[in-house]
Chains A and B, each alone.
Chain A
C-alpha cells in the first residue's frame, strides 16, 4: 500500500486568531494524500485553497488539529524549527510569482536555494541550467532582473526556482495562470514526468480539463471546508455537489448536455465528446 505523504487531522486555521480581526480560513479539514499521487485542489475564489496549501508547506501552523507532512507533525504548539523542517521538504510555487522572486538576476534567483545547500559550484550551475531549461525559460534573459520580465516569464522563473531543489512534495498554486497555452502544456507534461518519477504533486487549479486529464485525486474546497476528496470522475459526475459549491462542470459536460441525447453517459473530456459526436454525425450522413 502506498505510504502517506500528508495527513490532516481536524485541521482548522483562523487568520489573526485571538484578535478582533479573526477570520476563518479553513475549518475541520481531515484527509490523507498518498505518497506519489497527483492531487488537484479546486474550489471557488476564497474557498480556502491557498490557506490549505500554506499549511501543507509549513508556512503557517494549524490553529486547531494536527498536520503531518512526511512524518513530521505540526500543531499550534510546534516551534519554528519544526515548521522549518516541513518547509525544507516541500517545494511551493506561490499563487503570485512575484512574491518569491527577489535576487538581482533570474539566474541568481534560481541558484539561491542550491547555494544554501552548499553544493559545489559546478553542480549548482548544472542544476540551475537544467531547471531553467525544464520550464523553457528564454535563454537570452537568464541575466535579466526578475522585475523586468513579463508576467508569464516571472512565473516560469518562480517555478524553476522551486524545481531546482528537487522536492519530494511539489505544491503549485494556479501555476498556469498567466501562461500561454504552449507554456501551460509544457508545464503539465513536466508535472506528469515528475509524477512518474515518484514526486507527490499538489496543484490548485480552476481548469477542470487539467484535473480530468492529469490528476488521480481531487479535493473540492467550499466555504473553508473540504467538500469532497476522491477520484475526479466521481466528483464530476456529482453535478449537485459541484453546483452547491459554485463550481461549473467541465466544458465537455456542459456541451454534452446540449448535444447528446438525454440519459447519455456524458464524457468528461472534449476529445471523448468529439468521438461520440463524430459517430453520430457519420451515422446521420449514411441515413441520408
Chain B
C-alpha cells in the first residue's frame, strides 16, 4: 500500500529567485524506512515540509494515504504525519517537558485519563522521564532533541518524519534512537529520516538522494549507496566500515563493489582474515 505519492512536485519559496525542489516523483510504501540524503541546501527539509503539509507544492500533487495535500485537508494531513524539526527549539510549546508532550495529545482530544500513560511511555523510550518537570528551554541540546522526538511519538502518527533529529546526540544516544526507529518500523510505522550520516542511512529500506533540488537517485538503499561516485557527490559522513574498506582499497586490497554496512564489512573482513571459525 502506498502511503505517500508525489507526482512532479516543484516548490519555490515565496520571493526566492531559485526553485528549491524540481519535478520530484516519490512513492513510499507503508512500513518503509526511507532515508533522505544530500548536501547542505539540496532541498531535504523543503521536501519533508511539503510531505507534512507545512508548505504546499507550487506545482504537482502529493497524496498522503487517500488525502491530497492542499489547504482544505491540512488537519487530516497533520493527523497522519508527525515531523521532528531540524531545530528542536522551534517546536516546544509546553512550560514543562511533560506539558509539552501533553499539548499535542490535548489537540488530538485524547481522553485525559489516557494521557499520563502515553506521556510516561514516550518520555521513557527517549530516556527523558526524569526531566518531566523541567522546562524544555533549560535542557541541553541533546536533551531537547530527545523531548522533541517524544512529543511527536506521542501523537502516534502513521508517518514519522525526522529531519536530522539526532544531530546533537552522542553516538550512544544516536544508536538508541536508531534502534527505536527500527523497532517502530517493525511494528508497521512508516518512517522518513533526513540524515548526513551513512551509518544511519544504511539502516533504511530505501534512499532518496537530492542534489540542488532534484532527485539524483531513488531506490533500495543498497542499490543507491553502491553507486560510489554518487555517494561521493552527496558528501555523506562515511560509516566506519565503508571508511575502512575505502582505505584498504587504496592500499591495494580488492574490496566488494557493492556497499557494505559496517556490520557486513566486519563480517567480510573476518572471513578474509580467517577469523570466522
Other-chain contact of A259, B90, B236, B275 (Cβ < 8 Å): B275
Task: Kindly state the separation between the CA atoms of A280 and B119 in the bound complex, as whole angstroms.
Answer: 53
Assuming A277-B248, A277-B273, A278-B251, is B13 touching A177 (CB within 8 A)? no
Other-chain contact of A151, B45, B134, B171 (Cβ < 8 Å): B45
CB closest residue in chain A, given B254: A281
Q: How would residues 261 to 272 of chain B score, 1 for a CB under 8 Å from any chain A CB and 0 otherwise?
A: 010001001101
Task: Kindly state the separation between the CA atoms of A152 and B45 in the bound complex, as whole angstroms.
Answer: 11
CB closest residue in chain A, given B43: A150
Assuming A277-B273, A278-B251, is B40 touching A180 (CB within 8 A)? yes
Size class of the A contact interface (CB-based, 8 Å): 35 or more
Say yes or no for B164: interface residue by CB 8 A criterion: yes
- Identify the stretch in B53-61, B71-79, B100-108, B138-146 within 8 Å (CB) of chain A at 4 or more residues: B138-146
**Which residues from chain B contact A277 at a C-beta distance below 8 Å?**
244, 248, 253, 269, 273
Say yes or no for B41: interface residue by CB 8 A criterion: yes
Q: Is the pair A206, B269 in contact by a Cβ cutoff of 8 Å?
A: no
Q: Is the pair A45, B173 in contact by a Cβ cutoff of 8 Å?
A: yes
Task: Kindly state the separation between the CA atoms of A140 and B16 in the bound complex, as whole angstroms.
Answer: 11
Q: Is the pair A280, B248 in contact by a Cβ cutoff of 8 Å?
A: no
Q: Is the pair B141, A179 in contact by a Cβ cutoff of 8 Å?
A: no
How far, in Å, is A26 (CB) from chain B's closest CB?
12
Say yes or no for B237: interface residue by CB 8 A criterion: yes
Say yes or no for A28: interface residue by CB 8 A criterion: no
Q: Is the pair B143, A46 in contact by a Cβ cutoff of 8 Å?
A: yes
Assuming A46-B142, A174-B141, A275-B251, is B237 touching A184 (CB within 8 A)? yes
Assuming A50-B141, A270-B244, A281-B253, is B86 touching A178 (CB within 8 A)? yes
How far, in Å, is A252 (CB) from chain B's closest CB?
8
- Identify the stretch in A3-11, A72-80, A122-130, A243-251 within 8 Å (CB) of chain B at 4 or more residues: A243-251
Say yes or no for B196: interface residue by CB 8 A criterion: yes
How far, in Å, is B11 (CB) from chain A's closest CB?
13
Task: Kindly state the separation between the CA atoms of A164 and B239 in the bound complex, as whole angstroms.
Answer: 34
Size class of the B contact interface (CB-based, 8 Å): 35 or more
**Which residues from chain A contact B269 at a C-beta distance below 8 Å?**
259, 277
**Which residues from chain B contact A179 at a C-beta distance below 8 Å?**
40, 196
Other-chain contact of B270, A180, A259, A278 (Cβ < 8 Å): A259
Say yes or no for A255: interface residue by CB 8 A criterion: yes
**Which residues from chain A contact B94 at a C-beta distance below 8 Å?**
none
Say yes or no for B172: interface residue by CB 8 A criterion: yes
Say yes or no for B258: interface residue by CB 8 A criterion: no
Say yes or no for B256: interface residue by CB 8 A criterion: no
CB closest residue in chain B, given A273: B244
Task: Kindly state the separation between the CA atoms of A51 and B89 in the bound complex, as whole angstroms.
Answer: 17
Say yes or no for A212: interface residue by CB 8 A criterion: no
Say yes or no for A274: interface residue by CB 8 A criterion: yes
How far, in Å, is B201 (CB) from chain A's closest CB?
12
Q: Is the pair A45, B140 in contact by a Cβ cutoff of 8 Å?
A: yes
Task: Kindly state the separation between the CA atoms of A150 and B266 in the bound complex, as whole angstroms.
Answer: 36
Assuming A258-B270, A281-B272, is B171 touching A206 (CB within 8 A)? yes
CB closest residue in chain B, given A287: B274
CB closest residue in chain A, given B269: A259
Of the listed residues B40, B237, B247, B262, the one surrounded by the most CB atoms of chain A closer than 10 A to its CB is B40
Task: Kindly state the separation between the CA atoms of A66 and B270 in the bound complex, as whole angstroms.
Answer: 53
Other-chain contact of B243, A152, A182, A270, A275 (Cβ < 8 Å): A270
Within 8 A of A (CB), among B140-164: 140-143, 146, 164
Say yes or no for B235: interface residue by CB 8 A criterion: yes
CB closest residue in chain B, given A258: B266
Q: Is the pair A270, B141 in contact by a Cβ cutoff of 8 Å?
A: no
Say yes or no for B19: interface residue by CB 8 A criterion: no
**Which residues from chain B contact A286 at a C-beta distance below 8 Å?**
none
Q: Is the pair A274, B248 in contact by a Cβ cutoff of 8 Å?
A: yes
Task: Kindly state the separation between the CA atoms of A150 and B243 in the bound complex, as whole angstroms.
Answer: 27
Q: How would residues 9 to 44 of chain B score, 1 for a CB under 8 Å from any chain A CB and 0 otherwise?
A: 000010010100000000000000000000111001
Q: Is the pair A178, B167 in contact by a Cβ cutoff of 8 Å?
A: yes
Say yes or no for B238: interface residue by CB 8 A criterion: yes
How far, in Å, is B152 (CB) from chain A's closest CB?
18
Q: Is the pair A248, B41 in contact by a Cβ cutoff of 8 Å?
A: no
How far, in Å, is A281 (CB) from chain B's closest CB?
5
**Which residues from chain B contact A148 at a C-beta distance below 8 Å?**
13, 16
**Which residues from chain A contact B216 at a C-beta distance below 8 Å?**
none
Say yes or no for B170: interface residue by CB 8 A criterion: yes
Q: Is the pair B251, A274 in contact by a Cβ cutoff of 8 Å?
A: yes
**Which residues from chain A contact B41 at a C-beta distance below 8 Å?**
138, 149-150, 152-153
Q: How would residues 7 to 25 of chain A score, 1 for a CB under 8 Å from any chain B CB and 0 otherwise?
A: 0000000010000000100
Assuming A178-B164, A258-B266, A281-B273, is B40 touching A50 (CB within 8 A)? no
Q: Is the pair B169, A255 in contact by a Cβ cutoff of 8 Å?
A: no
**Which residues from chain A contact B253 at a C-beta distance below 8 Å?**
277-278, 281-282
Q: How would residues 178 to 191 of chain A score, 1 for a CB under 8 Å from any chain B CB and 0 otherwise?
A: 11111110000000
A-B contact pairs, 23 of them (CB 8 A): A23-B134, A45-B140, A46-B142, A95-B141, A96-B89, A98-B90, A138-B41, A150-B45, A180-B40, A180-B196, A180-B236, A206-B171, A246-B170, A247-B172, A255-B262, A259-B270, A271-B247, A273-B244, A275-B251, A278-B251, A278-B252, A281-B273, A284-B274
